[in-house]
Amino acid sequence: MRLLFGLFAFLIILPSGCIDPLIKQVETNDTKYSERFRPQFHFSPKSNWMNDPNGLIFENDRYHLFYQFYPDSTVWGPMHWGHATSEDLTHWTHQPIALYPDSLGYIFSGSAVMDYKNSSGLGSENQPALVAIYTYHNMEYERSGRNDYQTQGIAFSLDHGMTWEKFDGNPVIKNPGIKDFRDPKVFWHEPTQKWILILVAGDHARIYNSKNLIDWTFLSDFGHNEGAHGGVWECPDLFPLTTDQGDQKWVLIISINPGGPQGGSATQYFVGDFDGQKFTTAQKESKWLDFGRDNYAGVTYNDAPEDKRILMGWMSNWDYAQVTPTTNWRSAMTLPRSLELKGSNSDYYLVQNPIIEPSIIARTEEFDVAQVTEGVVLPSSQFQMEFEVDLSEKTVFELANEQDQFVFSIDPTLRQMMVDRRFSGKIEFSDKFAPGQQISAFIPENRAAKVTIFSDASSIEIFVDQGRYVFTNQVFPEQPYSHLRIVSDGVKTDKIIFSELNSIWHEQ
Ligand code: FRU
């Protein structure tokens, strides 16, 4: 049964027999990116299958986004690295495929560094190499029952990622007999003057170092007994962050599939120390990056300006990623988010600040609290919205069209926040998509908290308490959501600020 909050009295019912114009566009394989469910201010591939972000690096004034890509189908297959670039992390330009599978295997996830000092000898000091470090997945080995089918390889580009050459001594790290052995993240470690590589090996992470990106020495491992272990560890990242109190810590990010708190894929993190050899932490409990279901395989940019730590995730979940109801493309990335570390000693935590280039704000409107309590007709379903709530009051936020609704609520009695997408639109493509409510984060204390919500054609990202609690979810409404209601005694701000967002594709 639908929730009580369902239909608003003023909903306009479309005449029956009315043809949905969006369906037509899908059939023509729209090159304007206006197909039904096509994200308008999130990155998605032009067509076909995408998963993890790879090789995130800022160089030559551009943010590179490489990604797991299968150019021949809308489901997972032989992996390539797709490529896009951006100057502002909002507008993206599609680039030619960067890496193709070869005789050593498919090209799985990994990272990229700029070898400015030419430590590898693959470029020169005048023309430094952009070096990609990735996992080779050898299907033949896997099929024949061997367990050493994943190795690490490198490739380099002397023209800022436009063309690539594989290193002829691949693989640079052989498989030690571990089935899941992948997803290397590499960064330069100034104190030891070495490259550090972290990869995952089933239920733990392994750390290596190197002087030249080619010869790697195993240093330590982490995680056999730490954190969540409901699934295989994937896509690690390790980076320093300093709190506003001046504490210098290291954050280790580990994606896990399955075993996420809401089911399927999710990302956990550890806050601790790294001495150039070993990562250690006093953290006892598991910490989760996102309380929604669709933020996976997230990693951060190398060399981002102003020492910023910018994360981007794949906005999907292996529980249903391959059957979502999109047509000629599948999957999108989350909004990029700048990470900060807060808290102290026993309770450090990450906060995420979404990044959008302000020029995509088409116009801003202010709604009264009384108006949104009644319910308002939205000028657009593509928006950013901001308000402040008192966490000691129950708050219910609904987005709806005449038949679907998405509900986010904060319940101080239960001390929980919840997302309900059971009635949000199309859900029947997988019984794992919306089996129940998502019972998410606990509320630590009663006070005012800022809420920022981004709604795109097939996603809703909610940032509560300045990005301390984040809920990233896909939704597939039968029609774009057209109505908003917020029922709460706890809205603190007089006005709810609503900004309609332009499409990053149509603007160009
Ligand atoms: C995570 C992942 C990685 C792997 C890649 C393969 O989503 O499973 O561990 O490298 O996807 O596409």
- Among 82-96, 204-218, 233-247, 488-502, the minimum mean pLDDT is found in 488-502
Q: Is the CB of 135 under 6 A from ligand 1?
A: yes
| Best residue for ligand 1 mutational test, from 49, 50, 52 (most atoms within 8 Å of Cβ) | 52
Average pLDDT, the chain: 92
Output the pLDDT for position 493: 84
Ligand 1 center–CA 235 separation, angstroms:
7
Q: Which residue's alpha carbon is at the smallest distance from atom 6 of ligand 1?
A: 108
Ligand 1 center–CA 108 separation, angstroms:
6
Q: How would you label 451-479 residue by residue, b for 16+ Cβ within 10 Å and e otherwise?
A: bbbbbbbbbbbbbbbebbbbbbbbbbbee
Q: In the sheet that 48-59 helps form, which strands lie side by side, from edge to edge? A: 93-99, 80-86, 62-70, 48-59, 329-330
Output the pLDDT for position 489: 86
Contact between residue 89 and residue 352 where contact means Cβ atoms under 8 Å apart = no
- Classify residue 506 as exposed, middle or buried by CB count within 10 Å of its CB (0-12, 13-18, 19+): exposed
Cα–Cα distance for residue pair 332/458, rounded to 1 Å: 9
Cα–Cα distance for residue pair 59/319, rounded to 1 Å: 35
Q: Is the pLDDT of residue 448 over 60?
A: yes
Q: What is the mean pLDDT of residues 396-423?
A: 96
Q: Is the CB of 254 under 6 A from ligand 1?
A: no
Q: Express as a percent the part of the chain with pLDDT over 70.
A: 94
Backbone angles phi, psi at 24, to 5 degrees: -60, -45
Q: Is the pLDDT of residue 28 over 70?
A: no
Q: Is the CB of 235 under 6 A from ligand 1?
A: yes
Output the pLDDT for position 507: 61
Q: Which of 497, 192, 461, 477 is nearest to 336 (CA)?
A: 461
Architecture of domain 48-354: 5 Propeller (2.115)
Contact between residue 391 and residue 489 where contact means Cβ atoms under 8 Å apart = no
Q: What is the mean pLDDT of residues 337-349?
A: 93
DSSP state of 315: S
Q: Which residue's alpha carbon is at the smallest distance from atom 9 of ligand 1?
A: 234
Output the pLDDT for position 30: 57
Cβ-based neighbours of 424, under 8 Å, separated by 6 or more: 404, 405, 406, 434, 475, 476, 477
Q: Is the pLDDT of residue 389 over 50?
A: yes
Ligand 1 center–CA 111 separation, angstroms:
13
Same fold, 8-22+357-501 and 48-354: no
Output the pLDDT for position 272: 97
Position 444 confidence tier, pLDDT thresholds 50, 70, 90:
confident
Q: Which of 202, 197, 144 is nearest to 171 (CA)?
A: 197
Q: What is the mean pLDDT of residues 80-102?
A: 98
Ligand 1 center–CA 506 separation, angstroms:
31
Q: Which residue type sits at 168?
A: D
Q: Is the CB of 341 under 6 A from ligand 1?
A: no
Please give the C-alpha separations between residue 7 and each of 44, 403, 421, 435, in angstroms, as whole numbers.
32, 7, 15, 22
The set of catalytic residues is 52
Q: Which residue type sits at 172?
A: V
Q: What is the mean pLDDT of residues 139-161?
A: 98
Domain boundaries, the chain: 8-22+357-501, 48-354
Q: What is the mean pLDDT of residues 54-78?
A: 98
Q: What superfamily does domain 8-22+357-501 belong to in CATH? A: Exo-inulinase; domain 1 (2.60.120.560)
Ligand 1 center–CA 257 separation, angstroms:
10
Q: What is the pLDDT of residues 449-458, one digit of tens each?
A: 999 999 999 9
Which pTM value belongs to this model? 0.94
Position 12 confidence tier, pLDDT thresholds 50, 70, 90:
very low
